[in-house]
Every structure is written in C-alpha cells, then in structure tokens.
Structure 1
C-alpha cells in the first residue's frame, strides 16, 4: 500500500507541476471539499522566525497555522497582534488557534484566555495542571471558547493519551476536549483511529505525525514512514465528520525540517486523494 501510495504522490506532484505550467490558476489541494482542513502546528518552526514560517506555508499551499507564543508572544500589544495578522493575511494564512500553552496556576490560565481573546481565536490548545481543570471549566463558560488538551504520550505524567484526557474532562463543559496527537497516542500504546471514533465529539484539534513504534522509545519521523495507518485515519476523520484542522507537527531534523515537512504533507495529501470514494 505504501509503495503504491508513494508512487501516486510522485505522479501527482508531476501532474501538479505540469498543470501549473499550462493553467492560469493554482492547482487546488486534495483536501478541497473535505469537512476538515490541513494545517501546520507552530511548534514545527520553533527554530525559525515568523517570516520563514509563513514563506513555507505559502509554498506548500497550507492556509491554517496554530500560533505558538515564540511567533506571537503572550505579552504582545494590540498593535503587534494587528501587525501579525496582516502578515498572515498577506500570505493567505489564518491563525486558527493558540498553543499548546502550559498552565500551572490560575493566573496562567487567565493570561492564556486573555491572550486568545486579544489574538481573536476561539480555540486554545492547552496543558493545564489537572487540579486546575475546574477553573478551566469556569473560563470556558465565561469566554465561550473551546479548549483542547494536548495529549503527550508517555513523556509526561498527565494527559498521556486520549483515554486519559477523556477521563479527566468527560464531566466538564463539552467545550473542553482534546488535541488528538496521533503520534503520542500511538506511543502510549493506543490506536488513534479507534480513539478518533470513540471521542470525536471532544476532538477539537489534531496533530498529524508518524512514529516508529507504540512505546516511549518510538520516535517521530516523516508521515508515511512509520506504523500509523493513515488511510484508516483519514477514512475515520471523514466518518465522524471532523470539521477541525489536521495540523502537521513535524518533530524530526528540526534544524532543517523543510524536506520532511514537504514529504509528510505530500504523503498525507496523497492519502486524502486516494481514499476518496
């Protein structure tokens, strides 16, 4: 399956290049017409400035970015936030959420919600201490935001997988859910396809990546090279009617991630194309 898909992706790339040589308009990406969107997680560009980040998204025809605070600090002025959005607009990019943001106190939660409001988004990807969840519940009701807890696999003690997030949030406001990081979910021994089906009403964001194994020793690599079943994942995303963003979070060769980002997006978009009914 993977070799066939890679052949298709290569052929599709050649067809796109040829079409762009002969047609006046741009080639539409394979996710056009889907209920979900394809984006990039800001953490992918932790070693690069905003200009390089936006240049990369534009070159890849990606229009959605989850904003990290190293690109837009949480203490930014309203003028700086306006300038940030002008840069995004010039590249036809929407900043759809902020985070992940770690929160270890009520004051940090207050700061995160105020930041999201001033940035103009209604989705926070966060990692609050467990004992602070009742306070997050209050803030969600106050602001009418969605709050997606980022799960981190076996690397930290809290929110290791989708089951963990669900068990901590199932009795809270339904606007509190998860950022389903399919790589970390897999590294904690879980099946992200099954978890997407089980918890889809609380999946507000997704981090797309591949990993080498279902244990803590499993590491991130280019999408399509690891063990995650992406055709099954895409079919499940469609089945449950997910309407959020599938954001690639590339965590390999982060000093020079650009070839890996391109390969990963090409594979993921190839899966989208080849699994269409």
Structure 2
C-alpha cells in the first residue's frame, strides 16, 4: 500500500482508516441501514445566487446535485421570462416558472422568507404556495400575526416555518421562537437558521436539541466564527459551527425534512463553495454516527492526498504495514500536558492555554495526517522527533502553523521553522479547517497542505549549527543532520487559539 493510497483513504471520509469501508446500505453505528435513516433532503435557497436570475440559480442547483428549491421574493426570473419571482406573478408566468423547474429535474418545495402586510396578502401568499405545489413557507411575522398564519396553514395544508434572523430580531433566541410556535399544531414550527444562531452566540447543536420535534426545515450553515454577527459562510465542515455535529443531532432526532443551503457570503468561489457543501452533505449522510461524532467526515478538497514523491520505499504487501491509527486516545491518556490545558470538544482537540501537548510514545519514520483551525494571527506548530520536551526548541523539528503574513518565509505556514520556507505562501482563513500531511522518513521531512506539497527538507544538507544551506542563520545549536531521528510528536500552544482534529499516524 503506497502513501498515495493511504491518504486517499484519509480523504474518503476516513472510512477505510478507522471504521472500515462502509457502503450506503451498510449498518451504521446505531445499527440502522441507510434506508432506515431519516430522510434529510438537500435544497438550495435561491437567495444564495441572488446576483443571478432565478433560471441561472436553477442551473447552478442542478450542477451541484441539489434537487430541492426554496425561492425568495424578488429574484429576477430570466430564462426568457420577464419580471421577478413572487406571489404577485400571474397564472401564465407561474406555469412557465414551473416549467423551468421541471425541465431541469428539480422540485420547488418552499417559499421564503416572506411576510404579508395584511390578511389579504397573507391569503395570497398561501394560495400562491399551494398553486405552485409547494409544501412549506418560511416566514418571520410578528407574534400577534401567528394565529392568522396558523389558521391559513390549516386551511391550505402548507406548513409554516418560523425563521430566526440574528439579533436584534425577536426570534434570534431559540427559546422565544419555540414559545411562539408552541400553541399551534405540528404544521407550524421552525425554519432553524443555524448560521444566525451561531452569529447570535447560541450553540447550534444545543439549539437543535431544544427544538426537537418542532423543526420544519433548516437554513443550514457553517460559519468561520462563533458569536460574531459579521461571521461569514464557509464550505460545510470547514467552519466553527460543527456541521458534522449538527447533522448527527438531526439524525439522532429522526428528523426528516429539507436542509437548505443558504450561502450569504458573496465570494468569487460561490458556485464551487456550494458544490462543496452539497458533497459534504452526501458524505455525511453516508457516514456512520461514530464518524459524525468524531468529525471524521472529510470535507471536499481537503483530500490530504500526497504527491507521488511521498510514496517511495513502501512495500507491496500492505499486510506488512500497520494501518493508520489515532495519534491521541479519546481520554488523552497517551499524551502529556498540563491538566486543563487541552480538551476534546465534539471531536475537536482544543488548546485551553497553559502549554504544549506531547505524545508519550516516540516516532521515528512515520506519516502524520491532521487538520488544524486557527483564529486571526494564530501561531502554533507540530513538533517532530522531540528528544526532550523541556528543551523542545533545540531537540525537535517544528512544522510551522501560522495565520497571517510573515516577512521571513521560513516562519510561514508549512515551513520547517527557521530552516526552510514552503514553496509558496498559502493564505490561512481564520475559522477554516486545513489538512497537513507530514512524512518523516530518515533524513527527509515532507509537508503537504490540503494535498499540495509545500516543503521537502533533506536534513543531511544542514551541516552547521546556526546556519542553513542557503547561508541564512537559524536558531539551532545542533545542525539538523545530527538531530534525533526518533522522538515524540507535539502540538504547540503559543498563546493564541488553535484546534486540531482527525489526527492519524502510521509508522513507516
């Protein structure tokens, strides 16, 4: 088994690494088959592509493999049609709009977020949704309008999902939103916007737990920061919202319904990002509950695939080589650190402050795969082959983790700290996950970031203390050719936020 094959397995949702390959019909950790799992249906809120026409948004949904749609009022129709989407469209236009949807093999299932100004308009909204074959509307009316809305829901059979914008919306608090829908039947519930919960400082998983049984639909999001109103969307699985944990909670609740991608971040990579969200969703649906709990669903483009230069010297008989295993135990019993300074949180290892973390075991030749997440201006690193943690600077090799710019290339992310710069500078976005693959074999240390080889250090070229092969100075009393070829692996806390997940190691 070559390293390229090994880290291909890392990329394939780690199914072959820890849980064994599992098809979509194989039993999950809970003993359910895929057919028995709740039916989570992926949809697109067309507001995601608000800078495009409705017809173009349909094309982009189809390209991403997203079959269900929630349309919003005001989007230019396009596709040869004049006007904007909304409940004011005449019957002929409605028929043509439905034809646009049908010819692409899509399904228009929801409308929102929409609010009527009076009873007449509310009736128009519900009649429109019914005439268009929709199942639900998302809305955010004042509480005193809810009796009318609930009555119209009962008359038409259209389900009502109460949406939550962030503060200062009165519905930002999930408990208040739940108390608003509580008096009404099961057809009135929440449009749980998990991104706005995060922006407002609420834990999305805990909020989903509180809302169990009253969720109609979701605007499902992963944001780069928590508790920050200006936080923006990132592809699912890369942000601070624990997308894996949210999907696990919905599965445990037995929720069946629509999860709409509503990507509000206007980024040049919008279409690609939406596609990545859709693919992450498909991987997560196929994953076991154990994999979801461990955040072991690998986001698209976080493949960790290593270039073929990393594959030399592997045996053909994979039985000769142990499989990759978790670097750290679930209780951290195989690590040394100051009590309280590191902790697992929903499958994520978080530095709490107070020092570095070290494996108790030593590693000589090995391949290490891990993901890391920085905050703004974070500084951290991964220590290799450390002989003495008390003297880590002089007895280990550090692969640098850095958010932000550095005038010295040997201090950028992916550098071998102070001795070798990466081949190029890669911008690290705060709050997003990035994957390192580090291969240490003999005198060679190789580093890739998100599958791109960045650093290839041949240690025997460092023959003098305090001097790099290019003549530049370094901090080290021992030339790297004489550094230990075996030692502990460490994770650095450098006084700034840092988190890790999916840490796997294979001895070579």
The alpha-carbon deviation at position 106 of structure 1 amounts to 2.7
2:56 alignment partner in structure 1: 52
2:100 alignment partner in structure 1: 87
**Is 2:70 aligned against 1:66?**
yes
Within the candidate set 116, 128, 148, 1:103 is matched to: 116
Count of equivalent residues: 256
2:265 alignment partner in structure 1: 252
The alpha-carbon deviation at position 63 of structure 1 amounts to 0.6
Give the 3-state SS of the residue equivalent to 1:200 in structure 2: coil
Distance 1:32 1:261, change over 3 A: farther
The alpha-carbon deviation at position 183 of structure 1 amounts to 0.7
1:157 alignment partner in structure 2: 169
- Tell me the alpha carbon deviations over residues 225-271 of structure 1, each in whole angstroms, 9 at most, x when there is no partner: 32111222111111111111111111112576212212222333333
- Tell me the alpha carbon deviations over residues 102-133 of structure 1, each in whole angstroms, 9 at most, x when there is no partner: 33433332221122122121311111122211
1:181 alignment partner in structure 2: 193
Mapped partners of 1:265, 1:55: distance in 2: 15
- Contact 2:225-2:232 at 8 Å conserved across structures: no
2:146 alignment partner in structure 1: 133
Mapped partners of 2:163, 2:275: distance in 1: 24
Question: Which runs of 5 or more structure 1 residues have no equivalent in the other structure?
Answer: 12-29
The alpha-carbon deviation at position 218 of structure 1 amounts to 4.5
- Tell me the alpha carbon deviations over residues 19-65 of structure 1, each in whole angstroms, 9 at most, x when there is no partner: xxxxxxxxxxx999751111111211111112211111111111101
1:115 alignment partner in structure 2: 128
1:148 alignment partner in structure 2: 161
Mapped partners of 2:226, 2:191: distance in 1: 19
- Tell me the alpha carbon deviations over residues 114-172 of structure 1, each in whole angstroms, 9 at most, x when there is no partner: 22122121311111122211211221222222100111122x42211322210111112
Distance 1:64 1:6, change over 3 A: farther
Give the 3-state SS of the residue equivalent to 1:128 in structure 2: coil
Distance 1:130 1:213, change over 3 A: same
- Contact 2:127-2:156 at 8 Å conserved across structures: no
Mapped partners of 1:160, 1:5: distance in 2: 41
Q: Give TM-score scaled by structure 2 length.
A: 0.47
Mapped partners of 2:169, 2:54: distance in 1: 32
Mapped partners of 1:250, 1:231: distance in 2: 17
Mapped partners of 2:41, 2:147: distance in 1: 31
- Contact 1:186-1:192 at 8 Å conserved across structures: yes
Mapped partners of 2:36, 2:261: distance in 1: 17
2:225 alignment partner in structure 1: 213
Mapped partners of 1:4, 1:270: distance in 2: 15
Mapped partners of 2:9, 2:278: distance in 1: 13
Give the 3-state SS of the residue equivalent to 1:102 in structure 2: coil
Mapped partners of 2:189, 2:94: distance in 1: 27
Give the 3-state SS of the residue equivalent to 1:39 in structure 2: strand
Mapped partners of 2:215, 2:105: distance in 1: 26
Higher gyration radius (CA): 2
Pairing 1:228-267 to 2, within 5 Å after superposition? 228-253=241-266, 257-267=270-280
Mapped partners of 2:281, 2:61: distance in 1: 15
Mapped partners of 1:68, 1:253: distance in 2: 17
Q: Give TM-score scaled by structure 1 length.
A: 0.82
2:39 alignment partner in structure 1: 35
The alpha-carbon deviation at position 5 of structure 1 amounts to 10
- Contact 2:160-2:188 at 8 Å conserved across structures: yes
Greater relative contact order, per chain length (Cα 8 Å cut-off, separation 6+): 1
- Contact 2:71-2:112 at 8 Å conserved across structures: yes
Mapped partners of 2:288, 2:200: distance in 1: 27
Mapped partners of 2:58, 2:52: distance in 1: 10
Mapped partners of 2:227, 2:35: distance in 1: 31
- Contact 1:152-1:161 at 8 Å conserved across structures: no
Mapped partners of 1:40, 1:205: distance in 2: 12
The alpha-carbon deviation at position 7 of structure 1 amounts to 3.1
- CA-based RMSD of the aligned residues comes to 2.8
Give the 3-state SS of the residue equivalent to 1:201 in structure 2: coil
